[in-house]
Amino acid sequence: MNAQELADRVGERHPSVVVARQEATLTLERTELLGALAPLRDDPELRLDFLSSITASDRPGRDPRFWVAYELYSLELRHRLRVKVGLAEDGASVPSVTSVFPTANWLERETYDFYGIVFDGHPDLRRILLPDGWEGWPLRKTEELGGVNTWYHGGAFIPPVDRRIT
């Protein structure tokens, strides 16, 4: 099944599916997410039974500010569908999908760790890669680029990238 055929099939239930660059993308409201994923997984014509990735993007100054993207793949039929949910800056939360795809456990924790997006109902939502005491959300566009002061032998000094004068 190619991307357009997949979009046509998914579009029977969800008209917000589009095809761009030979990829099918379904955009949902956060309230629709859980109710949509199980049928996509269980439909014998779709069999989108593998959640390969969850990530987010941050677009400050826009509404919605955050987009959470779920990459679904059919191991048997070898096609994929991206499911996206837009979130406003205040109240950046979405239901956890661990009940539908157990692999979401660590993927949601990683997205929380880097973007601060809360996954409501997650069984253990805490930092997974950064130290527990870390402040902030490093992949938000409003964070400083960071870095560390670097001293080289002989007295050369290079400041972090966000403090360099060009």
Is residue 151 domain-resident? no
Supply the CATH number for residue 110's domain.
Answer: 3.30.460.80
pLDDT of residue 46: 96
Residue range 112-139: mean pLDDT, rounded = 91
Is residue 142 domain-resident? no
Averaged pLDDT of the chain: 90
Is residue 154 domain-resident? no
Is residue 13 domain-resident? yes
Residues sharing a CB contact under 8 Å with residue 122, sequence separation 6 or more, in sequence order? 96, 98, 105, 108, 109, 112
pLDDT of residue 147: 58
Is residue 110 domain-resident? yes
Domain carrying residue 83: 3-136
Check: CB of residue 92 under 8 Å from CB of residue 116: yes
Is residue 24 domain-resident? yes
Check: CB of residue 105 under 8 Å from CB of residue 122: yes
pLDDT in tens, 79-110: 999 999 999 999 899 999 999 999 999 999 99
Structurally, the chain folds into a number of domains equal to 1
Structure tokens at 46: 């779709």
Is residue 101 domain-resident? yes
pLDDT of residue 131: 84
